[in-house]
Amino acid sequence: MIINIDTLLAWGATYKKVSAEEIIFREDAEGHFYYQLVSGSIRWLNINEDGGEFIQDFIEPGESFGEFPLFDNSTYAATAIANKESIIIRLHKAKFLQLLKENPDIQFAFTKLFTERLRVKFLFLKELSCFGPEHRISTLFSHFKGAKKNICDSCSQVQLTRQQIANMTGLRVETVIRSIKHLQNKGLVVIDKGKVYC
């Protein structure tokens, strides 16, 4: 968790409940709030002209999202949509920036977070431009396993649909299905009753 909820509330943050598939903010809209997920799940994505999604990240409880406009006075770089009923906490931009000024440890935590996210983007850009489908998918699974995100800790089941994997790797669903089958044949993943395990 980047900012303790009690700290956010003390600075005037409010809770907001969102329904499944509700849009929290849209790409290119102005940003006026700091957002942190309390419960539920959010996908952070770009949507093309045909309505296709390119998923940038899945946000889990305790994680923040949509911070760019707070720091550069630009617009949101992606759209945030609730995957299921979720609760977010949000703090107005002016109060958020004042909170950072008065708490250098929190500001440092954001520097670290942004560096980690930028490193992941470099990794995935390299994958998209230099490697084939199987390598892209393997790298995605390795990243999530290392980050303990979207892969079950106890059973190693991938908790993403084939469509979500396609939306994160820039591949077609058919290519994802075929590539996962090839990864199974190489012994890199296990498929049991339609579920994928790393």
pLDDT, one tens digit per residue, over 66-98 is 999 999 999 999 999 999 999 999 999 999 999
Going by pLDDT thresholds of 50, 70 and 90, the confidence category of residue 34 is very high
CB 158 within 8 A of CB 151: yes
| Mean pLDDT on 29-52 | 93
The SS3 assignment for 40 reads coil
CA angle 102/103/109 to nearest 5° reads 145
What tokens appear for 55 in the block?
Answer: 């998923």
| Mean pLDDT on 158-186 | 90
The whole-number pLDDT of residue 91 equals 97
What tokens appear for 122 in the block?
Answer: 């470099």
The whole-number pLDDT of residue 43 equals 95
Going by pLDDT thresholds of 50, 70 and 90, the confidence category of residue 1 is low
Distance CA 35, CA 24 (A): 9
pLDDT at 21 over 80: yes
Going by pLDDT thresholds of 50, 70 and 90, the confidence category of residue 161 is confident
Question: Which tens digit of pLDDT belongs to each residue from 116-150?
Answer: 888 888 887 787 778 889 989 998 898 888 888 88
The SS3 assignment for 174 reads helix
Whether domain 131-197 has CATH 3.40.50.300: no
**Residue 83 CA to chain centroid, in angstroms?**
11
Distance CA 25, CA 190 (A): 37
pLDDT at 23 over 80: yes
Distance CA 39, CA 65 (A): 13
The whole-number pLDDT of residue 143 equals 83
Long-range CB contacts (within 8 A, 24+) of 106-115 = 106/2, 106/3, 109/2, 110/2, 110/67, 113/2, 113/64, 114/67
Q: Is the pTM of this model over 0.75?
A: yes
Task: Specify the fold of 5-119.
Answer: Jelly Rolls (2.60.120)
Domain residue ranges in the chain: 5-119, 131-197
Distance CA 122, CA 29 (A): 25
Give the dihedral sign, CA 114/116/122/128: negative
What tokens appear for 81 in the block?
Answer: 């949509």
Do 5-119 and 131-197 come out as alike in CATH topology? no
CB 183 within 8 A of CB 189: yes
Q: DSSP assignment, residue 189?
A: S
Going by pLDDT thresholds of 50, 70 and 90, the confidence category of residue 175 is very high
Q: State the average pLDDT for the chain.
A: 91
Write phi, then psi, for 84 (nearest 5 degrees).
-150, 175
